[in-house]
Every structure is written in C-alpha cells, then in structure tokens.
Amino acid sequence: MTDPSKLSVAVVCSSNMNRSMEAHNFLAKKGFNVRSYGTGERVKLPGIAFDKPNVYEFGTSYEDIYRDLEAKDKEFYTQNGLLHMLDRNRRIKKCPERFQETKEQFDIIVTVEERVYDLVVLHMESLTSVDNRPVHVINVDVVDNAEDALMGAFLITDMINLMAKSMDLDNDIDEMIQEFEERRNRVILHSVLFY
C-alpha cells in the first residue's frame, strides 16, 4: 500500500483540540485520509483560573470558541497559545467531534493517552460487529501541551508512514510496532477490534 490516501486513519485525544488536531494537520499534509476526535463528555480548555476551565459541547465550532475566548480575555488566551491553536483548528475542520458519535470506519485509530485508548476500546467493544472489518487501535502517549503535541504529531506521522508501506497491515503490524518501539524508545499499546 504505497498510496497514503488508501489508509483510513483517526487520531483521538480527549477534547479534539490539541494533540489530535496537530497530528490531523500533519497527516493531512502527507496525503492521508484522516479524521480526528475527542472522547470526553465535553470539550475542556484551560481557563484563567485553574479550577474554572472553559467548557463547550462537542459540535461548537472552533470559530465560536475562538471568539468566546477572545471576548473573555484576548491577551491571556493569546499568551497561553489557545487562540493560536484554535486558529489552526478552524483551518482544518469546522468543530471538535466526539469519537463515540461517529459512524465512520477506519483502518487505524491512534490515541494519545492510555485513558483515551481505554475509552476507544470500550466503545468499539460495545458496538455490534457488522462486517468483521478489522481496525487497529494504537496508543502513542503524548503530553497535552503545544510542544509535545508537535513532537507527538511527528511520531504518529512517522508510525503511520511506516504502516502505509505495508501490503498486508494485519500481518505486518506487530512487527512494525515492535520496530517503532525500539527505534523511538516508546511503549505502544495495540488492540485489534472489529467493525
């Protein structure tokens, strides 16, 4: 499989704001058929006070969130990078989407933390298997800040590029993950589930 657009990929974090969107951006630029999601109940972004996050429903547009934060405190949200992140996001897609609400099917689902991985696996296991199409759920831990999200996007893109070269992903994936873990000194979680 040398055409990256043939591989259907989802990247999932908690709020579909930072880590999943950075990887979505990278993968899309490389020509991959990619979507991104969050698994949380709502979208949560840091607020001015630690105990008062900004909370939005999934489906609220990045544009509306941008304008809301800009109206609340433009200087603060510019300094902490949220307005920059939302500006990037609104150029990629309209709004954050919740993974548990999608009907799309993927070849690979990449999560960025173990808690999100567990939620994705739990959701997939709760679905009634329709056509026994395999999906590989893979976790690559990425810390939730701008710098680590950028590094995580490089790692995820590197891993997906490797997998896109496979003619038989279902057969090759364990070996590829092992090679990636050794080369990148990372522990990768992997499950095979079915649609």
2 domain-assigned: no
Total structural domains within the chain: 2
- Out of 32-36, 47-51, 72-76, pick the least confident: 47-51
Say yes or no: 64 and 32 in one domain.
Answer: no
Give 164-194 pLDDT, tens digit per residue.
999 999 999 999 999 999 999 999 999 999 9
Question: Does 80 share its domain with 102?
Answer: no
Q: How confident is the model at residue 4, as a pLDDT?
A: 67
Residue 29 and residue 88 share a domain: no
User: H-type helices in the chain, by residue range?
Assistant: 19-29, 62-79, 82-92, 114-126, 146-164, 169-184
Tokens of 108: 């690979």
Asked whether residue 3 is assigned to any structural domain, the reply reads no
CATH of the domain at 162: 3.40.50.2300
Residue 6: DSSP 8-state: G
Say how far apart CA 152 and CA 34 lie, in whole Å. 16
pLDDT tens per residue, range 143-171: 999 999 999 999 999 999 999 999 999 99
Does residue 22 sit in the same domain as residue 114?
yes
Domain housing 163: 8-40+98-194
Same domain, 182 and 139: yes
pLDDT tens for residues 93-112?
A: 999 999 999 999 999 999 99
At position 45, the amino acid (one-letter code) is L
